[in-house]
Amino acid sequence: MKLGPDVTPRRRQPPSQLEYKRYLAFVLVVAVIGIALRGSAVYVGLMSDDFMQLGMLSGTYPGSHYAPFDLYAFLRRGELMVAHVEQGTAPWWSVPELHGTVFRPLASVLMWLDHAIAPGKVVIWHVHSMLWFGASIVALGLATRRLLPRSVAMLAVVLYACDAGMVSPLAWLANRCVLICATFGFLTVWAHVQWRDPDPHTPTWMHRRGGLLVGVLMAACISAGEYGLGIVAYLGAWELFVGHGQARQRLRGLVPALIPVLLYLLAHKLLGYGTFGAEVYADPFHTPSGYAKWATTRIPQLIASAFWSIPAATIHVFRFGLSAQLEQTFVPPDPTMQDYHSAHVQLAWWGIAAAIVVLLLARHAWYADERKALRALGVGAVLGMLPVAVAPPHSRLLIIAQLGVCAIVAAALVACVRLLLGRAGVAPLQSGAGSPVWPTRLRGLLLIPFAGLLAWLHTIGDVRWGNEYLRHLDELQAANVAAFTAGDLLSQPLEGRDVVILNGPSQSVGLYGEYVLQSLGQPMPATWRPLALGCDFPMVATRPADDTLELFVVQGSWMHTAGELFFRREDQPLWAGDVLEYPSLRVEILADDNGHPSRVLFRFDRSLDDPSFVFVVATKQGLQRWPVPARGGRNVVPLPRLPKAPPK
């Protein structure tokens, strides 16, 4: 008998106790395999922000009171910004109002415990991150099984375990916070559904105390970082599309999760957290127009990246992700960086259009309750991208969204099989009974190429790309460390001296040199100040006075790269004649290229021949001492380069 849409049977049946135990065993096995696939991440070492946190914990970073709760307060505006520029943890072009602090007390405490329990044992710290990765796999497995059939849930767990976006939080200790958010956040979704829509196996205590558990889990999630705001989007979407009762009851169901989130946002505001003053990070509360400008391009990029499992960062799309034929299609000849960004946005919209086609074909195989759950997960995943759109697109920002994306992709793969078998979302179809089978199977045939591509990209493709990116991060980190050990820097006494690096090739080398040296067990200089950061151009230096160094670029100018624009917005140019004054340094812009400095005068507080100064340049042979020209003389500053990382 043909069933109408209004009597569509529910496909998700509560599992028996035995089935549930087998499912949990499967999830645990996948978690172990997922950890094994990324096992080499434990040997990466420290990266970027990790060096800043090392300085905070040792008390050598500008400012105070970082440990144990405030290890993500990287830059604070006002007087402390002057101290950052003086020490070199921020470059000379930083704006005074630059502020880069994030409220992540739980993640901070766990980082502090790493250093307290296992000081200097970086591998153990990475193993700690691996355990959170495994825990997030289990948490996602619990949430998806509570919402969807076993086949879809199992596939979703596999897809999540393979996801390439996990590489960054596994290799980068400071980014572990997103795995903590994911673990407690996915458990929050599971607990919320258990409490609001109990099945026969739901414990009695969950009926009475489920709201309390939801609140505790949500508090743990949001205290690990702002990524947890994406979980609220899932809960709200579930109440909207799946929840029971009147609107007032559904809103009341959100109260346990909203209380800790509102307290977090209140503390975030009152304690002065946020990121503003930078171009590449746009806080919606402080620079709403800047955030809106970036969000219109970043969110499509994130959506396409999540669904098709391609790199989210533009540089990764065109360096690692696309074939030469596709790049020629989207990128014009002799492209600029803006051309690449525009091509990435265009590619993203094509990806979204293809995703819509997939969903339109697959929806015919989904049952009514599956459609509701998937709609909630999809809307929650997209809305959850709004908070992370403050940062440049990167796959690491999509881990919370993977709960919804992996479920939808898994459901599309299951739908392809159902359609090929002649089964639609209203009831199995048989020859001679009800509607003809051929339209259903035709949809399945049309879905095959999409399903095959999705299956490959989210498994084999993700594992390959993730491991390739992991090797890239490992080599980059090793090259940054080699810069300090390969050159002649360590052949001279550094303790208490003022190091001036003329051409920092990366933030680790250009800004955090003293903390890299600290991690290597070497004496620390008093300051480590960059004059240029990430600028891929040669410079010529002259010495017009005893205490003065003048730099002018051969071709190019400052303040074009993302690394530079973290410290100053594009709408705050530096023109010829502008002067920046610091206690020990005066910077005057002598020439500019449309607001981008091209000739800069640096006047220090003493003679450049003072023995407390150490001038260095980054070369392929490592950090080398740079001979300061005699008064009236000149010297070349080479292109900033890192040495080749030694084989491990």
Q: What is the pLDDT at residue 1?
A: 32
Which residue(s) pair with 100 in the sheet?
A: 75, 275
Top mean pLDDT of 195-204, 428-437, 547-556, 560-569 is at 547-556
Q: Determine contact, residues 55/46, Cβ cutoff 8 Å.
A: no
Between vectors from CA 150 to CA 149 and to CA 151, what angle results, nearest 5°? Answer: 95
pLDDT at 431: 41
For residue 516, give the amino acid letter: V
Q: What is the 3-state secondary structure (H, E, C) of 75-102?
A: ECCCHHHHHHHHHCCCCCCCCCCCEEEC
Q: What is the mean pLDDT of residues 317-326?
A: 65
User: Of 625, 601, 160, 615, which is closest to residue 381 (Cα–Cα)?
Assistant: 160
Confidence of residue 322 (pLDDT cuts 50, 70, 90): low
3-state DSSP assignment of residue 484: helix
Task: Report the first-to-last Cα separation within the chain, whole angstroms.
Answer: 67
Report whether pLDDT(328) > 90.
Answer: no
Supply 599's token pair.
């000739």
Tokens 């509560």 correspond to 14
Q: What is the CA angle 414-420-422, rounded to 5?
A: 105
Preceding omega of 68 cis (within 30 degrees of 0) = yes
Query: What percentage of the chain reaches a pLDDT higher than 70?
Result: 95
What is the average pLDDT across 244-252?
92
pLDDT in tens, 562-605: 888 889 988 899 999 999 999 999 999 999 999 999 999 999 99
Average pLDDT, the chain: 91
- Amino acid letter at 469? Y
Helix axes 229-241, 247-270, angle to 10 degrees: 170
Contacts of 25 (CB under 8 A, 6+ apart): none
C-alpha dist (Å) from residue 97 to 76, 81, 84:
8, 8, 12
* Secondary structure of residue 16 in the 3-state scheme: coil
What's the rounded Cα separation, in Å, for the pair 260 and 370?
30
pLDDT in tens, 334-393: 777 788 888 899 999 999 999 999 999 999 999 999 999 999 999 999 999 999 999 999
Instruction: Give 490-517 as a DSSP string.
Output: GGS--TT-EEEESSBSSHHHHT-HHHHH
- What per-residue confidence (pLDDT) applies to 565? 87
Residues 6+ apart with CB under 8 A from 631: 543, 544, 545, 546
pLDDT digits (tens, 9 = 90+) for 231-246: 999 999 999 999 988 9
CA distances from 469 to 44, 319, 340, 463 (A): 12, 11, 20, 10
> In whole angstroms, what is the distance from residue 610 CA to residue 14 CA?
76
What pLDDT is stored for residue 7 in this prediction? 39
Q: Write down the pLDDT at residue 331.
A: 79
pLDDT greater than 50 at residue 67: yes
pLDDT value, residue 435:
58
Comparison of pLDDT for 399 and 341, the residue scoring more: 399
List, edge to edge, every strand of the sheet that includes 613-619.
527-530, 498-501, 613-619, 622-625
List CB contacts of 248: < 8 A, sequence separation 6 or more: none
Q: How far is CA 321 from CA 34, 311, 314, 457, 468, in A?
A: 22, 6, 9, 11, 11
The strands making up 99-101's β-sheet, listed across from edge to edge, are 73-75, 99-101, 274-276
Predicted confidence at residue 428, as pLDDT, reads 44
Question: pLDDT, tens digit, for every residue of 173-197?
Answer: 999 999 999 999 999 999 999 999 9
What mean pLDDT is predicted for residues 145-160? 96
Q: How many helices (H) and strands (E) does the chain have?
A: 23, 13
User: Percent of the chain at pLDDT above 90?
Assistant: 77
Mean pLDDT of 508-522: 95
3-state SS class at 435: coil
Weakest-pLDDT range from 67-71, 289-293, 452-456: 289-293
Residue 129: pLDDT band (50, 70, 90) is: very high
pTM over 0.75: yes
Strand ranges, E, within 180-295: 274-276
Tell me which amino acid residue 96 is.
P
**In the chain, what is the greatest distance between 2 CA atoms, to the nearest angstrom?**
97
pLDDT tier at 440, thresholds 50, 70, 90: confident
Q: Are 474 and 43 in contact (CB under 8 A)?
A: yes
8 Å CB contact between 403 and 144: yes
Which amino acid would we find at residue 598? S
Ranges 227-241, 317-331, 631-645: which has the least confidence: 317-331
Side chain identity at residue 297, one-letter code: T
Cis peptide before 119 (omega within 30 of 0): no
Kindly tell me if the per-residue pLDDT of 434 is higher than 80.
no
Q: Spell out the residues 6+ positions from residue 442 whose beta carbon is closer than 8 angstroms to its own.
A: none
pLDDT score, position 430: 42
